[in-house]
């Protein structure tokens, strides 16, 4: 019975929701395991402030002949003007390829507040299917106020270094 279910598995699609994107998200425990054939998984999320997706990665955990993924890619989309997932007006922001040889590939992209999704696609060529891991890390975009504090902090460090350098210099004697 299980063999029949796997043999009928053809094209697959699943939608997973991270809701409000936490500082770190991963597919561990959900998704990432696909039956033989082509697949297209969606990972939806929203962010409330401008953020940088500092690291987004997909790893095909190939263990042939049982698990293998070929022709893998993942893309980042923003919801379109209607703010509805999957309608024809969604905008592709960027896309990357992966397979069993790429390992963990990391990419960064800045995002404004809004709704987004990753689309992970590929062809599971293993006898049982394929396994992949999806992760995403957010970090805040520096604001002008925080940049000002950063510059002020650098100035303080510069003054401290200058004083230490002057204190370490031997005293200059004037000729008598």
Q: Domains of the chain, with CATH numbers?
A: 8-141 (2.60.120.380)
Q: In this structure, are strands 130-140 and 51-60 parallel, antiparallel, or unpaired?
A: antiparallel
Arithmetic mean of pLDDT over the chain: 76
| pTM confidence score | 0.67
CA distances from 84 to 88, 90, 121, 122, 175 (A): 9, 8, 21, 24, 82
Q: What is the mean pLDDT of residues 78-87?
A: 91
Confidence of residue 2 (pLDDT cuts 50, 70, 90): very low
Higher pLDDT, 7 or 113: 113
Compute the chain's Rg from CA coordinates: 25
């Amino acid at each position: 019975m299980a063999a029949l279910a796997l043999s009928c598995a053809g094209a697959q699609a699943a939608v997973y929701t991270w809701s409000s994107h936490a500082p770190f998200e991963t597919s561990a425990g959900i998704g990432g395991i696909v039956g033989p054939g082509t697949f297209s998984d969606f990972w939806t999320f929203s962010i409330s402030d401008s953020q940088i997706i500092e690291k987004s990665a997909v790893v095909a955990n190939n263990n042939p002949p049982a698990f293998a993924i070929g022709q893998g890619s993942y893309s980042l989309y923003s919801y379109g003007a209607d703010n509805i997932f999957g309608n024809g007006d969604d905008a592709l922001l960027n896309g990357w390829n992966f397979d069993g040889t790429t390992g963990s590939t990391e990419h960064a992209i800045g995002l404004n507040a809004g709704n987004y999704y990753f689309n992970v696609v590929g062809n599971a060529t293993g006898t049982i299917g394929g396994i992949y891991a999806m992760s995403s890390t957010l970090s805040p975009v520096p604001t002008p106020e925080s940049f000002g504090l950063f510059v002020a902090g650098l100035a303080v460090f510069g003054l401290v270094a200058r004083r230490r350098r002057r204190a370490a210099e031997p005293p200059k004697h004037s000729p008598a």
